Amino acid sequence: MTTATPPKGRGPLARREARLAWSLLLPTLTSVMLVVILPLLAIFWISFKPVGLADLRPPAPVVREDLRDADEEVATLRYRIRNSSQDEPIRNTVLTDTLPAGVTVQALPEICTLEGAALRCDIGELEPGGRLTLEIPALLDGDPDALEDAIEDATPVEITGEADNILANFEFTLENFRDVFDAREFWTVIYATLFYTVVGTIGALVVGLFAAMLLNKSFKGQGVLRGLYLFPYVAPVIAVAFTWVILLDPFSGSVNALLVQMGVTDDTINFFGERPLALIMVTVFEIWRYFPLSFLFILARMQSIDHDMYEAADVDGASPFQKFRYLSLPMLMGILSVLFLLRFIWTFNKFDDIFLLTGGNAGTRTLTVNVYEQAFAVSNIGAGAAVAVVILICLLIFSWAFFRFISREEGL
Partner 1 sequence: MRAFWYGYVTGPILGVLWAFIMATTLAVLLSFTTGEAFRPGLWGCILLGALVGLAAPENRMGWLLALGAAVLGVALSYTPFSPIHVAETVGMGGHLSAGIGFGIGLAWPVTVMMAGAPRGALNRHEWEEAVIRFLTGFGYIFFTAIVAIPFYVMVMTSLKTQGELIANPLDFSIDLSQGWGLFRSYSELFRDFNFGSYMWTSFYVSVLTVFITLAFSIPGAYAVARLKFRGQKALSRSILLIYMVPMIVLALPIYIVFSMTGLRNSILGIVMIYPVTTIPVALYMLQGYFRGLPGEVEEAGLMDGLNRLQVIWKITLPLSLPALASVSLYVFMIAWNEFLLAFMLLDDPSKFTLTRGIASLNSSEIPRQHLMAGAVIATVPVMALFLGLEKFMTRGLTAGSVKG
Q: Site residues for partner 1, window 56-85 (CB under 8 A)?
A: 56-58
Judged by beta carbon, residue 1 or residue 41, the one nearer partner 1 is 41
SS3 84: coil
Query: 3-state class of 315 per DSSP?
Result: helix
Among 31, 106, 222, 303, binds partner 1 (CB under 8 A): 31
Amino acid letter, 365: R
β-strands 61-68, 118-126 pairing: unpaired
Please check whether residue 65 is in contact with residue 157, taking contact to mean a CB–CB distance below 8 angstroms: yes
Q: How far is the CB of 245 from partner 1 (least distance, A)?
A: 8
Query: In whole angstroms, what is the distance from residue 341 CA to residue 298 CA?
Result: 14
Are the beta carbons of 384 and 375 closer than 8 angstroms? Answer: yes
When asked if residue 297 is in the footprint of partner 1 (CB under 8 A), the reply is yes
Among 2, 3, 5, 28, binds partner 1 (CB under 8 A): 28
Write the CB contacts of 382 (distance below 8 Å, at least 6 apart in sequence): 46, 47, 48, 49, 50, 51, 52, 173, 175, 176
Does 194 bind partner 1 (CB under 8 A)? Our answer is no
Residue 343 vs residues 40, 88, 218, 285: alpha-carbon distances, Å: 22, 46, 28, 15
Min. distance of Cβ 279 from partner 1 in angstroms? Answer: 19
Which residue's CB is nearer to partner 1, number 48 or number 244? 244
Least spacing, CB of residue 29 vs partner 1, in Å: 8
Smaller CB separation from partner 1, 150 or 386: 386
**Residue 210 interacts with partner 1 (CB under 8 A)?**
yes
What mask, x for binding partner 1 by CB under 8 A, covers residues 356 to 385?
x-----------x--xx--x-----x--xx
Closer residue to partner 1, CB minimum distance, 112 or 387: 387
Does position 2 interact with partner 1 (CB under 8 A)? The reply is no
The nearest distance, CB 285 to partner 1, in angstroms, is 10
Q: Is residue 157 within 8 Å of residue 315, measured between CB atoms?
A: no
Beta-bridge partner residues of 76: 68, 137
Q: Is residue 399 near partner 1 by the rule CB under 8 A?
A: yes
Least separation in angstroms between CB 13 and partner 1: 10
Q: How far is the CB of 167 from partner 1 (least distance, A)?
A: 7
> Helix, strand, coil % (nearest 5) of the chain?
55, 15, 30
Footprint (CB under 8 A) of partner 1, residues 114-133: none
Determine, following the binding rule CB under 8 A, whether residue 54 of this chain makes contact with partner 1.
no
Task: Please give the single-letter amino acid code of residue 407.
Answer: S
Q: What is the DSSP letter of 56?
A: G
Q: Does 35 bind partner 1 (CB under 8 A)?
A: yes
